[in-house]
Structure 1
């Protein structure tokens, strides 16, 4: 097992329907993280949620909108996360963005990540 390493978890709460510059906002964020060489990014799709507006977004069969809640999680060293935040500065309509300190206790897998 590897020794625990300090890192930062960037979590962005948004929704599927939000658009970036010519593509969905979540794609724009993940591609920017990849371009900057961050360790990885994961987009999690939620079946139900609400945010600041208190409007419910659900995955019910009768609700055919593709505007479900999304959470984007990215873990890396603090300076690398800050570089991503700086690059995201011009992105509009992000949603809630949080940071928290974490300890990475294992990184990598069979395919290297």
Structure 2
């Protein structure tokens, strides 16, 4: 299973970005691994385009967090992250096929 979280890079809760809180949650839950990517351009439910191409819209650039692990563990993680995000972002779960888990080791299909 693959978990994908879309959030604005400037979204915060207390003194931490939602990105930091989401990644910390995944780590604390022993999810195998996660990657955070910063987007160049995007928009969300409010339809405002955020872009690195224009200084006016460089705020709140999109952040994407992806993690792959066991389905049930990711379901629980997705629920926790959704609670953290509150009214911000999008949390998505989808089936995936892992071809390679670690260097030289093939994953079970």
| TM range, smaller chain | 0.7 to 0.9
Q: 1:59 to 1:89 in 2, by over 3 A?
A: closer
* CA root-mean-square deviation: 1.9
Q: What's the counterpart of residue 93 of structure 2?
A: 99
Match of 1:5 in 2: none
**CA offset digits 1:10-63 (Å, max 9, x no partner):** 111111011134300011010110011001111111111111111010112533
Counterpart of 1:15 in structure 2 is 8
Secondary structure class of the residue paired with 1:86: helix
The residue aligned with 1:69 is 62
Which has the higher mean CA deviation after the structures are superposed, 78-87 or 21-30?
Answer: 78-87
Structure 2 gap segments, 5+ residues each: 105-109
Does the aligned pair in 1 maintain the 2:10–2:17 contact within 8 Å? yes
When normalised by structure 1's length, the TM-score is 0.80
Q: Secondary structure at the match of 1:27?
A: helix
Q: Distance in 1 between matches of 2:7 and 2:35?
A: 13
More deviation, 33-42/63-72: 63-72
Aligned to 2:30: 37
Paired residues in the alignment total: 103
List alignment gaps of at least 5 residues for structure 1.
Answer: 1-7
The alpha-carbon deviation at position 88 of structure 1 amounts to: 2.6
Q: Does residue 1:51 correspond to 2:44, yes or no?
A: yes
Query: Any idea what SS the aligned residue of 1:53 has?
Result: coil
Structure with higher RCO (Cα < 8 A, 6+ apart): 1
Q: How far apart in 1 are the matches of 2:64 and 2:58? A: 18
Provide the rounded CA distance (Å) in 2 between the counterparts of 1:51 and 1:14: 9
